[in-house]
Structure 1
Amino acid sequence: MEVYDSSFWSEFLRGMLKPAAATAVVAMAVALSFVQRLGLEWEMVYSIARTFLQLSVIGFVLEFIFTQKNAGWIVLAYLFMVLVAGYTAGQRSKHVPRGKYIAGVSILAGTSLTMLLLVVLNVFPFTPRYIIPVSGMMVGNAMTVTGVTMKKLREDLKIQKNLVETALALGATPRQAIFHQVKRSLIIALSPVLDNAKTVGLISLPGAMTGLIMGGASPLKAIQLQIVVMNMVIGASTVSCVMSTYLCWPSFFTKAYQLEYKVFNED
């Protein structure tokens, strides 16, 4: 990795002046939190401090990876993102047995399958500059919807245990008995993604498109990339959600195909 000279650091520090100035809006949010007695002031300050630190570090890491020709760095960066995403989604659904493992495997399956199709179809070249940012967008969305799916499925089963047990008593398999709860959790988790796709460009200009336009690219080129991004987000999110339900449901039943009550008694 090349040694950065004084001119590089000088340019980097000048470039950070605008992000630093933008913290004024965070100060406004902190003031509002204080006035409304929300108690979120320190969390807001901590969050923005972590944002500065994490993005600064990842900027240097990506600068290094982009100069490498070894595909192993792409895989390593991708697996790191999946690992962090699986842990975060698992924390959201912490009462689901093996939640972190299930979330990680589901996110890995959904995003890797989607990325493989994009590479095979030659939508993106297999280079760090394309694969890592695209993977990040897919993994981030898959993380959110997977965590919501698992959490919502457990909550619905806890509330509707009598309905599930009745279905089991009438001869339904566990998967059949929880079909409606699975369907509901998938719909709730995926609805924001689909709503975003329906309103993209009408209400907001997403990050990828905005970044290209602000970087000087033609709006027509920007929308082409954004269409690809929306497609891959929907694909990866759906596969990850569905996979998580298939991996989740055995944890909610005993070996005798009865509801595992201890899973639902935890709060």
Structure 2
Amino acid sequence: MSIERAIDLDWINLAMALPLIFVAIGLSWWQRLGLGKSLIIGAIRAAVQLLLIGQILVWLFSTERWYLVLAVLLVMVVAATFSATGRLEAVGSRARLRWLCGGAILIGSGLTMAYVDVLVVHITPWYDPRYLIPIFGMIVGNAMNGAALAAERLRSEFQSRRDEIEACLALGASPAQASAIVVRQAMQAAMIPTINALAVVGIVSLPGMMTGQILAGADPTQAVNYQLVVMFMLTSATAITAILVTLWYRNRFFSRDEQLVMLD
């Protein structure tokens, strides 16, 4: 079976896609959702950011300097950290929450990327930006979501189970023992989107990696192989990140005297 060449999109094609955004803006205005401004800003940011990263990638592909590639990956981790913590209500210092989430995202994404690079895809050289940056982008994006969900759910569980936790502490339980259920609930909540994605992939949805490769003219069987690798690596990164966030962030809810910190 012959594989057809990918359909190229020019500026006219992109312009014809704009009405799709206007549909969402119109529906927001009709129902008075107040999302029109956010949608416009979001669309502009998406266009500017993607066009900019496209030019940066063209430059990186031509230079192939490992330190520049690592610098881009670090910028991605920093951006993911600020995005994950931007809407969270921090317990204690917000700066510490960012360091905590940033460290978890870096470890979860870094370990997963290193494994995929060396043992799965066998990228040569190991810093090839054509592979490393897109793959790491998918990994860090899911790790970011896992960190945000874990931190938010942990705080909400501490609030809802406050009396239960204080009762356990009063009976002599350690902070780790008193908050064990809370930690497990937060970890489970962070993993639910990933588990759902694993359950419906190929039936309800054709994910981005697979769809993009098929549209680019790749063999569908190869697209499936890559998508399976993607699903497995995203699961690993999300699990590692969520576990680190909950275990590290849990300590912020207790004082040095092992008393529960007052929550608003």
TM-score (norm 2): 0.92
Residue 52 of structure 1 is matched in structure 2 by 47
Identity of matched residues, %: 34
Instruction: Indicate yes or no: 2:227 matched with 1:232.
Output: no
Q: Conserved in 2, the CA contact under 8 Å of 1:114 and 1:236? A: yes
Which blocks of at least 5 consecutive residues in structure 2 are unaligned? Answer: 1-8
Which blocks of at least 5 consecutive residues in structure 1 are unaligned? Answer: 1-13
Q: Conserved in 2, the CA contact under 8 Å of 1:252 and 1:259? A: yes
Which of 83, 105, 114 is equivalent to 2:112?
114
Structure-1 separation of matches of 2:98 and 2:11: 35
Q: Conserved in 2, the CA contact under 8 Å of 1:190 and 1:237? A: yes
Residue 10 of structure 1 is matched in structure 2 by none
Which of 66, 88, 100 is equivalent to 1:93?
88
Residue 11 of structure 1 is matched in structure 2 by none
Q: Which amino acid aligns with 1:133?
A: P
Residue 187 of structure 1 is matched in structure 2 by 188
Deviation at 1:153, TM superposition (A): 0.4
Deviation at 1:155, TM superposition (A): 1.1
1:135-150 pair list within 5 angstroms: 135-150=136-151
Secondary structure of 1:158 counterpart? helix
Q: Conserved in 2, the CA contact under 8 Å of 1:110 and 1:142? A: yes
The one-character-per-residue Cα deviations of 1:65-92 (angstroms, maximum 9, x if unpaired) are 1112211122111110000001111113
Q: Conserved in 2, the CA contact under 8 Å of 1:145 and 1:237? A: yes
Structure-1 separation of matches of 2:248 and 2:235: 20
- Report the RMSD for the aligned CA atoms in angstroms: 1.2
Deviation at 1:247, TM superposition (A): 1.3
Structure-2 separation of matches of 1:247 and 1:211: 37
Using CA pairs under 8 Å that are at least 6 residues apart, name the structure with larger relative contact order, 1 or 2.
Answer: 2
Structure 1 segments, 4+ long, off by >3 Å, are: none
Deviation at 1:102, TM superposition (A): 1.2
Structure-2 separation of matches of 1:92 and 1:68: 37
1:1-267 pair list within 5 angstroms: 15-97=10-92, 98-125=96-123, 126=126, 127-261=128-262, 264-265=263-264
Q: Which amino acid aligns with 1:101?
A: W
